[in-house]
Structures are given as structure tokens and as C-alpha cells.
């Protein structure tokens, strides 16, 4: 099977030859392990041409022992960020809309003009037929969180003030503006990411999520699903309360942090219904466990989500603290146990 055929077969439960694979490696891991990690990824390639690894081969941080290993920058939204050099994400240092007085004069970044979407359509048309084409639609809740700052946003939601509704609706319209153009091209999937969970609960009450956010997500997801395009959503943390809602409004490929919720509990909800992009336990097993424990976690995830003639995309996040032998165990296990039929489950 081609990568595109394999991924679609896993999402649509039509029988892939093996579980599709998606690698994600932070730059710091590449700086730590160097060429042998790149060689390992070539030995066990994913179904996305190892794109994340190729994009993250950044130069290492300065060797000056007195240098602060922290990066600060301002994004196109006016949000000031900071992060550790070895990672690709960070935290908001200064929000762009610190109060609602600032909202009165705040201007969103300009939308791409039609030439951008024309160029995108041409690139999709010229794609290799084996390629699974997805397009990122950014973030919704997290963009609100970044613009206002986390504490401010949660108070906005608690007070149900007018400004937070205006901000949310303008962001939805922005998503729909882009998506309306993307769905006219031959893309396979849209991707949206919002981390909705703390370690043991949703960040807001599920009822508030359903009343405020669910209808807005639905508008975006329905445009994609009506065009026959899959919806891939990433969301970390404990989201057990809203997984059923996400399925209802159109998510077909979900990337949850399933270990913090209990993999069996997640599987009871999603098994055979939507595809799961796994998050092999990166809080303990991948960085601090043994290679045998990493292998066991891969087998557990395949058994929970992939035993439905599809249903699983294998993924495990690799940070700079992960020892090389655990990365090797992770990637080799994807190939060792991910081929269909899953005969090892019967042994």
C-alpha cells in the first residue's frame, strides 16, 4: 500500500496492510543523539516522509555555559512567547489582548489573499499520488488563550462577557474563510489542535464546553465533513468527558493523551468508531521506562485501538530526555507489531 492508501484505510476501517506511523521528534533529541537518530528514523520511516524530523534538524544551542537556554519572540498575533531551545512550543509571556480596552483597537493578522490559496491548490494538484495531504487549520481555543492569557480567558468564560463571544466568533469566521477555500482542493484531511485537558479533568466544566465551544467546532468540522474531508484533532490531557462530543461533531482521527485517562476507558468509547493517533506514554514510559516497557505500551495501544480492521495511527513523542534505546524500541515495535493481520494478539 502507498502511505496515502494506508492512512485512509486506517481512518476508514477498510484494512491497511499495517498501522500507519507518524514520528514526532523535538529538536533537542536530534541535538542529543545526532546522526544515529536520523539513521534510525530512516531505518523505520513513517508515512509522512519523516517530515517532522527533516524540519527539526536545527543548529544546537550556543555552547556558552553562561548563556540562557531560553528563546523569546513575538508572533504575528502580537503574543510574546518564551520556550526552551530544544523544544518547538512554549508559554505565553505577554498576551496580545491583556484587557478588553485593548480589544477595541486590536487587529487580527491579515488573511492570506487568493493567490496564496491558488498556489496551495496547485501544490495539491501536483502532489505525488502516494502522499496523504493534510492542511493545518491552526488552533481555536488555544488562540483565544494566547491572545488573552490563560487566567484572563478562564475569567472571561466564567463571567460570560460579551468580548469573549466576539473573539470566539471572529476566530471561527477566520477558520471558515480559509477552510472554504481549502475544501475546494483535493486535500484528504484538515488538522486542528487544542489541548483541552489537565492531568485529571477537563480545563472547564464539560457543560460549559458543550454550550460555548462545541457549536463553534461543529461549524468548522461540518464544512470539512460535508466536503468528504477527514477531521484530525489533537488534544492533550484528560478529555474523557468530551470524546463522545468530538465524534458527534465530525472528528475522524483523534490524537488524545490516552494514558492519563486509562487506555481501556478511551477504547470503550472510540473502538471501531474513529481512528486514534496514539500518544505512547511520554510522561513516564518513553523517557524513563525500559525498552521492554516501551514495547509493551506499543502492543497495548495496537490491541486497544487497532484491532478493528484499522483504527490506529502509531505515534510517540520523543524529547531530548529520551534515551536512544527507548527510541529504537518505540520505532522497531511499530513495525514489529503493527502489521495486519495482528496474529500476535492470538498467541
Distances (CA, A) of 247 to 32, 44, 139, 180, 275: 39, 31, 18, 22, 10
* DSSP-derived secondary structure letter, 112: P
Q: Among 56-70, 74-88, 174-188, 214-228, which is the least confidently predicted range?
A: 56-70
pLDDT of residue 68: 63
Class of domain 3-346: alpha beta
C-alpha cell at 313: 495511527
Listed in sequence order, the residues at least 6 apart from 121 whose beta carbon sits closer than 8 Å to its beta carbon are 184, 185
Assign 271 a pLDDT band (cuts: 50, 70, 90).
very high
pLDDT of residue 24: 94
pLDDT tens digit string along 177-203? Answer: 999 999 999 999 999 999 999 999 999
Is the pLDDT at 87 greater than 90, yes or no? no
| Mean per-residue pLDDT over the chain, rounded | 93
Assign 42 a pLDDT band (cuts: 50, 70, 90).
very high
pLDDT of residue 89: 76
Q: In whole angstroms, what is the distance from residue 183 CA to residue 162 CA?
A: 31
Assign 70 a pLDDT band (cuts: 50, 70, 90).
confident
Is the pLDDT at 259 greater than 60, yes or no? yes
pLDDT of residue 1: 96
Q: In whole angstroms, what is the distance from residue 335 CA to residue 347 CA?
A: 18
Is the pLDDT at 154 greater than 80, yes or no? yes
Percent with pLDDT over 90 in the chain: 87
Q: What are the residues facing 314 on neighbouring strands?
A: 21
pLDDT of residue 244: 98
Q: In whole angstroms, what is the distance from residue 194 CA to residue 144 CA?
A: 10
Dihedral in degrees, nearest 10, Cα atoms 255, 270, 14, 10: 10
pLDDT of residue 67: 53
- First-to-last C-alpha distance (Å) of the chain: 26
**Mean per-residue pLDDT for 311-328?**
97
Instruction: Specify whether the CB–CB gap between 82 and 91 falls below 8 A.
Output: yes
The domain segmentation of the chain, as residue ranges, is 3-346
Assign 53 a pLDDT band (cuts: 50, 70, 90).
confident
What is the DSSP track for 252-272? -EEEE-GGGT-HHHHHHHHTT
**Mean per-residue pLDDT for 146-155?**
96
**Mean per-residue pLDDT for 18-37?**
93
Instruction: Specify whether the CB–CB gap between 306 and 258 falls below 8 A.
Output: no
Cα Rg for the chain, rounded, in angstroms? 21
Q: Among 71-85, 150-164, 199-213, which is the least confidently predicted range?
A: 71-85
**Mean per-residue pLDDT for 251-258?**
97
pLDDT of residue 28: 86
CA 231 to chain centre: 11
Q: What is the CB neighbour count within 10 angstroms for residue 19?
A: 29
Instruction: Specify whether the CB–CB gap between 281 and 245 falls below 8 A.
Output: no
pLDDT of residue 62: 53
pLDDT of residue 90: 85
**Mean per-residue pLDDT for 201-212?**
97
**Mean per-residue pLDDT for 128-145?**
94
**Mean per-residue pLDDT for 134-148?**
95
Amino acid at each position: 500500500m502507498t502511505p496515502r492508501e494506508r492512512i485512509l484505510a486506517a481512518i476508514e476501517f477498510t484494512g491497511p496492510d499495517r498501522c500507519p506511523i507518524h514520528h514526532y521528534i523535538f529538536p533537542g533529541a536530534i541535538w542529543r543523539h545526532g546522526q544515529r537518530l536520523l539513521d534510525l528514523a530512516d531505518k523505520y520511516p513513517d508515512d509522512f516522509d519523516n517530515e517532522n524530523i527533516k524540519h527539526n534538524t536545527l543548529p544546537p544551542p550556543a555552547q556558552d555555559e553562561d548563556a540562557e537556554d531560553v528563546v523569546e519572540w513575538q508572533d504575528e498575533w502580537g503574543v510574546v512567547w518564551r520556550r526552551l531551545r530544544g523544544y518547538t512550543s512554549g508559554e505565553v509571556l505577554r498576551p496580545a489582548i491583556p484587557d478588553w480596552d485593548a480589544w477595541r483597537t486590536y487587529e487580527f493578522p491579515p488573511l492570506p489573499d487568493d493567490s496564496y490559496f491558488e498556489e496551495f491548490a496547485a501544490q495539491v494538484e501536483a502532489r505525488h499520488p502516494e502522499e496523504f495531504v493534510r492542511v493545518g487549520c491552526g488552533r481555536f481555543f488555544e488562540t483565544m488563550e494566547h491572545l488573552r492569557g490563560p487566567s484572563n480567558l478562564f475569567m472571561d468564560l466564567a463571567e460570560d462577557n460579551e468580548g469573549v463571544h466576539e473573539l470566539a466568533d471572529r476566530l471561527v469566521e477566520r477558520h471558515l474563510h480559509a477552510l472554504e477555500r481549502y475544501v475546494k482542493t483535493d486535500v484528504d484531511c484538515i488538522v486542528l489542535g487544542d489541548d483541552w485537558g489537565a492531568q485529571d479533568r477537563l480545563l472547564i466544566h464539560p457543560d460549559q464546553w458543550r454550550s460555548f465551544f462545541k457549536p463553534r467546532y461543529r461549524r468548522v468540522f461540518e464544512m470539512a465533513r460535508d466536503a468528504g474531508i477527514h477531521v484530525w484533532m489533537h488534544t492533550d490531557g484528560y478529555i474523557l468527558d468530551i470524546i463522545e462530543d468530538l465524534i458527534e461533531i465530525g472528528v475522524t482521527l483523534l490524537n488524545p493523551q490516552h494514558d492519563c485517562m486509562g487506555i481501556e476507558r478511551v477504547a470503550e468509547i472510540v473502538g471501531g468508531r474513529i481512528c486514534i493517533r496514539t500518544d505512547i506514554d511520554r510522561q513516564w514510559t518513553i523517557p524513563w521506562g525500559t525498552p521492554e516497557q516501551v514495547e509493551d505500551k506499543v502492543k497495548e495501544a495496537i490491541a486497544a485501538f487497532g484491532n478493528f480492521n484499522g483504527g490506529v495511527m502509531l505515534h510517540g513523542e520523543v524529547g531530548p530526555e529520551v534515551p536512544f534505546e527507548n527510541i529504537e524500541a518505540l520505532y522497531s515495535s511499530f513495525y514489529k507489531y503493527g502489521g495486519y493481520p495482528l496474529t500476535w494478539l492470538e498467541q
